[in-house]
Amino acid sequence: MDFAQFIAPFDPGAFRSQYFGKQPLHIRSEGARADLLPWSRFNEVLALTPYWNEDTLKVYFKSRAALRENYCDTADLRVGSPAPVNPSKVSALMGLGASLVANQLHRVCPPVGAVARMLAQEFAARSFANVYCSFQGVQAFQTHFDLHDVFAVQAEGEKTWRIYEARADAPIAPVPPGDEGEQFLNSTRGRMIFEVVMRPGDLLYLPRGQYHDALTGAQASLHVTFGVAPTSGLSLFKLLEKALAAESGFRAYLPDARDPAALQARLEGLGGRVKDMMTSAAFAIDVLNSQRDLAGVAADYRLPAQLPPAWYSPAKRARVVRRDSGFAVVHDAGEIPLGATYPAVEWMLSQRMFALQDAITRQTGVDEQALRADLERLLQAGILVETEMR
């Protein structure tokens, strides 16, 4: 489903302008969401036993995480390997009222994975899906907040959510678990702004940092939480480090800090260059590519069909040049401007021979049509030539 179907009957434009990153929103049941994860599908996914281990499946009892030896097989484990889940132990704990948290379900459940990818593309973000299974009267987690935006879809049963007025300021770390952490959250959550009983197909949106908790009703409950985490300003530092590493002024040693005047002069010069870099057209392309990378690529094998490879080789010396104004392929007869495809083009020019499909896979989220257009320009300039595998 696309985002309009996912958030129906609410208007997507109104959501973006009035709610996204701003305030919670509850949307009543819609058919497309109600069929996302029925009990039968969740049971089928849990039966994929090789995937489930102490990292991907968590068991909680009275808001406390179960020890791995209580629900996993820990004998004969290799050092550093996660302990595999023992389904019989898990079933026994659920019989006692324990709750399950199935992490990263989008990796093994195609319908859930499709929604996660859609949200990643819609918000230029990393997106993932965790599933929560709990039983009558159970509160698996005390009041807390998340480090990302949340789209919670009720799949089966009912669950009562309480949303509080407090909202952490763009949090990047959770409150440490334990009694002190719970006391802090309870004392800072403020008044409850609304309470909602979630029924199958209902959607609840919570912006990052919003305090909340939830309680299962009279029936067993199953809900999917889609986490959406766009890039933040902190992510720019890695992009800057990579881009500025090519400049000798940043690779040079700093002056001794015991000479404050020399250090201050150098820092002012470097700071000015950082500002110029961050506000450049080239850096905006780097940010675009980093956001595209977050969504990943959906599996699309189309078997038994095969994609016949087309092979190419460099025929003339050329290189990708970065300027604040953008990127270009520089060769002996001139320049060819590039956009967001520049990492893939740079890889192509470094190869003795390559297949186009391989070039596409070298840059996650690359615009395939744009890359094909750049390839055609390189062929017309004689920089690349078609060849045969040898």
Domains with residue ranges and CATH for the chain: 3-230 (2.60.120.650), 234-279 (no CATH), 311-387 (3.90.930.60)
| Band (388; pLDDT cuts 50, 70, 90) | confident
> What span, in angstroms and rounded, lies between the C-alpha atoms of 317 and 197?
65
Which strands, in side-by-side order, build the sheet including 221-230? 25-27, 203-206, 149-156, 221-230, 125-134, 99-102, 57-61, 64-65
Return phi, psi of residue 61, to 5°: -135, 120
pLDDT confidence of residue 390: 67
CA distance 280 to 275: 9
> Look-up: residue for tokens 């590493």?
245
Eight-class DSSP state of 191: S
- Size of the chain in residues: 390
* Omega within 30 of 0 (cis) for the link into 9: yes
pLDDT digits (tens, 9 = 90+) for 56-67: 999 998 778 899
* Per-residue model confidence (pLDDT) at position 140: 60
CA distances from 134 to 114, 159, 219 (A): 24, 9, 9
Would you place residue 300 in the very low, low, confident or very high pLDDT band (cuts 50, 70, 90)?
Answer: confident
Cα 130 to Cα 128: distance, rounded to the nearest angstrom: 7
* pLDDT, position 303: 87
Instruction: Give the confidence band of 306 by pLDDT, cuts at 50, 70, 90.
Output: confident
Task: Look at residue 48 and tell me whether its pLDDT is greater than 90.
Answer: yes
Kindly tell me the burial class for residue 244, based on how many C-beta atoms sit within 10 Å of its own C-beta (0-12, 13-18, 19 or more): middle
- Read off the pLDDT band of 76 (50, 70, 90): confident
Is residue 71 pLDDT above 90, yes or no? yes
pLDDT in tens, 129-149: 999 999 887 766 789 999 999
Residue 182's CB is within 10 A of a number of other CB atoms, namely 15
